[in-house]
Structure 1
Amino acid sequence: MEFTSALQKLGGYQPRKSQKSQEVLQKGTSLLASQSFASKGDDGKHPSLWESFEKLLLAAMDQGDMDVADECLKVLVEKFPDSPRIDCLTGIVLETKETPETALSFYDALLKDDPSNAAAWRRKVGILKRIGKIDKAVEELCKMLDTFYTEVEGWMELADIYSSCQQYTHALQALSHVLLLAPQNPFHVLHFAETAFLVPDVPLAFKMFLQAVDMTDDEDQDGVSPGDTVPTGLALRAWFGVKLVSRLIPFPMV
């Protein structure tokens, strides 16, 4: 897994009990029990071994098995004592076992040593949101985005926070940065349109819903024109948005 991408995923990680994580936990515990990872990990022929430990740790967190999570973390810390990625995993485990204040102090220490650790910023913001300190979460997220402007996930999280507080104009401003950074993603265009509808900015919402339709409707899918197919997924949401907004537009009487 590419390093920056891995840190981004860890920054946004949230525990969830899924069938996949249960399967990873069941299969991965044999890796810990075998104790064969030490020799394999050092011979240079198993580059994905330590990534498997990370996946096992997160799967154990998902399933609430902190004994396995602690054991995986111990192995990874011993192998990579100065890794920002492992520091983030340590923080995730702390969030489960310790108080929010303890986890926040840990992330503050990480950021003091390395202000470029975007994953630590994201984890800190997540804790502040969970304990109800929304103003502080917004403040920290804005600080992060001042440093890491290209963090699309950060701008989306900021927009979600504003939307949860019904501050749709601010959410729209955050999403405008998302569109600048990822203009070809139809989901972002649709998200922008739906938020504009809530502002409400009807002309802007109508324009962006139509743009989302244009991006999600295939011109010629398997030889069938768009007019002869039933829209699904994002295309369906985009067309539904067009329908909602068109009801609010005062078309002139003919």
Structure 2
Amino acid sequence: MVTKTEESQVNRLENQVDNGGGGAWEYLCLVRKLKVRRSDKVLKHGLSILNDPKKRSTLGPDEWTLYEQVAVAAMDCHTLDVAKDCIKVLQKKFPESKRVGRLEAMLLEAKGSWAEAEKAYSSLLEENPLDQVIHKRMVAMARAQGNISGAIEWLNKYLEIFMADHDAWRELAEIYASLQMYKQAAFCYEELILSQPTVSLYHLSYADVLYTLGGLENIQTAKKYYSSTVELTGGKNIRALFGICLCSAAIAQLAKGRSKEEKESPELHSLAALALEKDYKQRAPGKLPLLITTLKSLKIS
């Protein structure tokens, strides 16, 4: 994840280059290092170097890295002729390169030649099953074609190998949730929370999924994760505060006739309600009466 300082540095260099202040190569290196997606700028400033023999000759071996960077940017911008030209140069220099083969497959994908691209990717994966980029391209290609079941299958295959990829777990969780496959989504968020326990978004999303699943046990657990979201965000997450109130009301209804241990304590509900009222007084005083009416309707006794 790019920090604010790094983003500021990219923006400053970009502004400098755009205004003729030089530093195009430094800018391209920084964008590549931080994996920032500025495809239109990379295409423009990368070509300005590649099309100038003097500038290009100063790069040494980095010339080929730039051809690759510009090829990918050109595909992003759907300037496929430029991408094709860059790949041809790389093919001539590295005729047996699997990395160039990956670019060729990406170009097929960009053209919408799905079957040919899949065949090319599959061939490359046979030679190197641990190629992370190709696995991700297969997921992206399935999603681009609307093949959600295929995307799920590829994501699961990918996560069997690269279990520590948080972005992939989150993508899979969001796909499952969109398909109302909430138990599977919950499992993904459990994995995320285990690996990154201080990320409040995962606690909140997990709580949302459990609340949607329903049932006393799930809602009791959802309330705990809404509470942990509030704690991790310093009491500033409005959605989590509402979640606590909703869970408290649902637990009160579901636990009727059960033991004292299973019944709902009003303390956390009251604290969440007070925090919501305080926030609305400061930021949306006109909506405060509606909030108070809503909270009153969530009875827990």
TM-score norm. by structure 2 comes to 0.61
Q: In the alignment, which residue of structure 2 is the partner of 1:101?
A: 115
- Do the aligned partners of residues 244 and 112 (structure 1) sit closer, same or farther apart at CA in structure 2, a change above 3 Å counting? same
Q: In the alignment, which residue of structure 1 is the partner of 2:144?
A: 130
Displacement of 1:34 in angstroms is 0.9
Q: Deviations over 1:59-109 (max 9, x none)?
A: 323322112222333344555666665544433222111421111111111
Q: Deviations over 1:109-130 (max 9, x none)?
A: 1110011112211211222233
Displacement of 1:51 in angstroms is 5.1
- Matched AA of 1:150: A
- Do the aligned partners of residues 143 and 24 (structure 1) sit closer, same or farther apart at CA in structure 2, a change above 3 Å counting? closer
Q: In the alignment, which residue of structure 2 is the partner of 1:242?
A: 244
Q: In the alignment, which residue of structure 2 is the partner of 1:212?
A: 229
Report sequence identity in percent: 32
**Does 2:222 correspond to 1:202?**
no
- Matched AA of 1:69: A
Indicate the SS of the match to 1:121. Answer: helix
- Do the aligned partners of residues 88 and 21 (structure 1) sit closer, same or farther apart at CA in structure 2, a change above 3 Å counting? same
**Residue 59 (structure 1) aligned to one of 73, 89, 110:** 73
TM-score norm. by structure 1 comes to 0.71
Indicate the SS of the match to 2:164. Answer: coil
Q: In the alignment, which residue of structure 1 is the partner of 2:60?
A: 42
Q: How many residues align?
A: 220
Q: Bigger shift: 136-145 or 50-59?
A: 50-59
Whether the 8 Å contact between 1:158 and 1:174 is mirrored in structure 2 is yes
Displacement of 1:50 in angstroms is 5.3
| Aligned 1:147-166 pairs, distance under 5 A | 147-166=161-180
Higher RCO structure (Cα 8 Å, ≥6 apart): 1
- Do the aligned partners of residues 112 and 206 (structure 1) sit closer, same or farther apart at CA in structure 2, a change above 3 Å counting? same
**Does 2:168 correspond to 1:168?**
no
Displacement of 1:196 in angstroms is 2.1
